[in-house]
Copies of this chain bind each other. A is one copy, B any other.
Amino acid sequence: MNIAIIGLGLIGGSLAISLKENGFAKKIIGVDISSENIDKAYRRRLIDEDMNLNLAIQHSDIIIIATPVDTIQKLLPQILDQVDEQIVIDVGSTKKQLIDTIKNHTNRKNYVATHPMAGTEYSGPEAAIPNLFDHKCCVICDPEDSSTIALQKTEKLFHSIPMNIIYLDAHSHDIHTAYVSHISHISSFALALTVLEKEKNENRIFELASGGFSSTVRLAKSSPQMWVPIFKQNRNNVLDVLDEHIHQLTRFKDLLIQQDYKSFFQLIEKSNEIKKIIQ
């Protein structure tokens, strides 16, 4: 099976490693508008060949779009215009707006909307790592709108990694990812700014930063090129969650002002229930 990967960053590059390593892909064809990324991808041995987009479409059985989500939205209709038997998969973090763009496309059934949920705070071909997706969750959205064969091949692809597949409608996907992924990033960005603002004249202080701080702030290293289009496409859901998060922080603040440590204790106890959910 020849697989074209469009966008050779953290996600595209890591998929390239997994699918070549496990034998699912006979050939990985890399597509990237940055010649520097193509060079890096060859040096990291992520790809077997590089082609321009149109050639890659012709020579592939499966086309995976792994660019930032604003670019996915531009490329997806163009790619569907050119496919015959090929299957097109996107791996972006937002789904509703994207799917709406191509819902009436003649080749809609060749397309499968997916979101393999794994990542790190790093980006580019140099951030690609083996095993990034192993045993993580991959969401397939609106599976009923893809053809049976497109869906089956996509499931086979993600099971080969192996990933656990769950099915959601696009609307639910976007709400839930706002809660379990997008808000964590905004929280980290804001926390980094809070500390950078305060400590700008105090270099020594970062000697004090221990594991807890690094853990909550590491996502603040994430790329704005990737994340701004996500927040833009999922704006309404992200705004809802952000409102709720600011509300929760304000509860802690008000209890501190009132010196109501009993209620403060109870709030922390309640938040401890997250233990049941994350390991």
Contacts and interface: CB of A to CB of B under 8 A. Distances in A.
B271 A220 contact: yes
A166 interface: yes
A135 to B, nearest CB: 11
Contacts of A249: 186-187, 190, 242, 245-246, 249
Given A210-B136, A216-B184, A256-B231, A268 B224 contact: yes
B244 A253 contact: no
B246 A253 contact: yes
Contacts of A196: 270-271, 273-274, 277
A244 B194 contact: yes
A139 interface: yes
A143 to B, nearest CB: 16
The DSSP consensus for interface residues of chain A is helix
Contacts of A177: 208
Interface string A222-261: 1110011001100100110111111011111100110101
A207 interface: yes
A179 B199 contact: yes
B242 A256 contact: yes
Nearest to A196: B273
A267 B193 contact: yes
A223 B137 CA distance: 30
Contacts of A220: 271-272, 274
Given A207-B137, A264-B231, A265-B228, A248 B190 contact: yes
24 contacts: A117-B210, A119-B210, A119-B211, A137-B210, A179-B198, A180-B195, A180-B205, A181-B212, A189-B268, A192-B271, A193-B270, A194-B248, A195-B274, A197-B244, A197-B248, A206-B278, A217-B274, A218-B278, A224-B269, A228-B261, A231-B256, A231-B264, A242-B252, A243-B253
**Closest CB pairs A-B (n = 5):** A224-B268, A190-B248, A192-B271, A192-B274, A184-B216
